[in-house]
Structure 1
Amino acid sequence: MVDCCIIIPCFNEANRLDIETFKTFQKQNNAFNLLFANDGSTDNTFAVLNSLNEELPNVSILNFETNSGKAETIRKAVLQTNKKYNYIGYLDADLSTSLSEISRLLNIAKTKNKTFVLGSRVKVLGASIKRKFYRHFFGRMVATFIDSLILKLDIYDTQCGAKIIKRDLALSIFKEPFKTKWLFDVELLARTKKLHGKAYCKSNIIEVPLNQWHDTKDTRISFIDFLKTPFALLKLYSNYAK
């Protein structure tokens, strides 16, 4: 039974989509529908996705003609998901988080009865977590600021691009456009806390260390994005900190 929809935002991914990995995963797993959301790509991405859709039964395509960025693309895709799904998740098209890991997160959500499961890029013995030093260093500073002054939920990694969310919760926290683009993951947590309170978050959100996560060479986060981060943090603080 298909009870989870995994959204994969795509912008000019024709040359780096690992089609064979997606095919193998879908042929071995019947609990997922992969929903590829084409974010106004200007290359051959849409054609590549259509060929995958024709070959596999549990693959769907959303085509947005205008590029609006990862956060808005995922938001629009969430709001268009079918009611049959119990869970909605998302991951990056480059598979920095593997499909097997997203499957593990879903299993944890179901067995532990959690409404929000976060992948976490924690370097522990036995895990293969490969991140560029400057991204890890900057990410830790941002995460520390976010949790200390905004969320206050003791979350280590708020920005990992792999999450599983119960559909009714997802519909409520994705309903409105985000205040920021790069830090929308933080907004999801902040909105959950604002809607349901800290006690709910402590009981229903779980952070799961990933066994594998690899930075890709073709990262879509630029140095300019880093420079804009302080302004994004101020927006989050003014809208969600109490």
Structure 2
Amino acid sequence: MLVSVIIPCYNQANYLKETVQSVLKSSYEPIELIIVNDGSTDNSLKIAEDLAAQFPEVFVLSQKNSGVAVARNHGIQQARGEYILPLDGDDLISDQYIEKAVRVLQENPSVKVVYAKAVKFDSSGTKAWNLKAFSRYALARDNMIYVAALFRKKDWEACGGFSEDMTMGREDWEFWIKMLKNEGEVVQLPFVGFFYRLTPGSKRKRTGTSQKKRERIAYLNRKHADFFYRELSGPLRIQRTWSKPYNKLLKILRLLK
């Protein structure tokens, strides 16, 4: 089965080649790599086109700067693979990751998402990344699945893809809620398969402000009220881990329906 690796890229010229090389070293075949240049102002597009000229597995799409959710959806729409792996243009995967993940998806139709253990890294070395175990209750409070997980293209289609109006960050969290809130198992592979690069100007840091957090929680509550009321007995709160006990207290006090 063909796996389509979707790499949105915005001004990641310094890292893009290393990211693509990590995929090309994969023990799994066949693979296609679709780089989506999201209006980069550096030489990312030139590097992507050079990689496409060098490797027949690599294809390039280009769009005006529209954000990572639009870029991912654009790439997945064009993908020919049954299985999808989104991978940001500065991160890396291990050579065994795709092979092991595909095997799980092939052998277990009830599994919707497969990912692996992960580490964070920068020029100073690697740092442990302790990902929580998946449950729908845990997913209601926080995201434990990074975006570079494998899933079936049909499940992306069924849930409507990445929400392109979610511009305040953590769009991968909302995507997993959409895909998994009602059904589907999740498997974490027991080895480090993903390497998340820490960079000074990362989107995660830009969207980590208190204002962005409030916007994000309001957005999630608007779109997935049924999910949060089921798992947390009410809406997601700013202090996310206290959401369920706080909602239960309000119900006791008859302040929340």
CA 1:42 to 1:99, structure 2 compared with 1: closer, same or farther past 3 Å? farther
CA 1:151 to 1:207, structure 2 compared with 1: closer, same or farther past 3 Å? farther
- Correspondence 1:25 to 2:19: no
Report the alpha carbon displacement of residue 17 of structure 1 after superposing the two structures with TM. Answer: 2.1
CA 1:99 to 1:114, structure 2 compared with 1: closer, same or farther past 3 Å? farther
Confirm or deny: 8 A CA contact 1:119 1:163 kept in the other structure. Answer: yes
Find the residue that maps to 2:69 and give its secondary structure: helix
- Correspondence 1:206 to 2:187: yes
Looking at both structures, which has the greater relative contact order when contacts are Cα pairs under 8 Å and sequence separation is at least 6?
A: 1
Structure 2 length normalisation: TM-score?
Answer: 0.69
Name the structure with the higher helix share.
1
165, 177, 187: which one pairs with 1:190?
A: 177
Number of aligned residue pairs: 218
Residue 225 of structure 1 corresponds to 207
Structure 1 length normalisation: TM-score?
Answer: 0.73
RMSD of aligned Cα (Å): 3.5
Query: Which range moved further: 232-241 or 217-226?
Result: 217-226
Confirm or deny: 8 A CA contact 2:163 2:171 kept in the other structure. Answer: no
Report the alpha carbon displacement of residue 9 of structure 1 after superposing the two structures with TM. Answer: 0.8
CA deviation vs aligned residue, 1:147-203 (integer Å, no higher than 9, x gap): 548748xx8713x12111112111232447444242222222222246xx3xx32xx
Confirm or deny: 8 A CA contact 1:9 1:92 kept in the other structure. Answer: yes
Distance 2:103 2:206 in 1: 37
**Pair member with larger Rg:** 2
Report the alpha carbon displacement of residue 44 of structure 1 after superposing the two structures with TM. Answer: 0.9
Please list, as runs of the form range in 1=range in 2, the aligned pairs for 1:1-242 lying within 5 A after superposition. 3-19=2-18, 21-22=21-22, 24-25=24-25, 29-64=28-63, 66-82=64-80, 85-114=81-110, 116-121=112-117, 129-130=119-120, 148=137, 151=140, 157-158=144-145, 160-175=146-161, 177-181=163-167, 182-193=169-180, 197=182, 200-201=183-184, 204-218=185-199, 220-227=202-209, 228-242=212-226
Report the alpha carbon displacement of residue 34 of structure 1 after superposing the two structures with TM. Answer: 0.8
Report the alpha carbon displacement of residue 22 of structure 1 after superposing the two structures with TM. Answer: 4.5
CA deviation vs aligned residue, 1:82-135 (integer Å, no higher than 9, x gap): 3xx21122112222444542343223222333552242547xxxxxx3469xx9
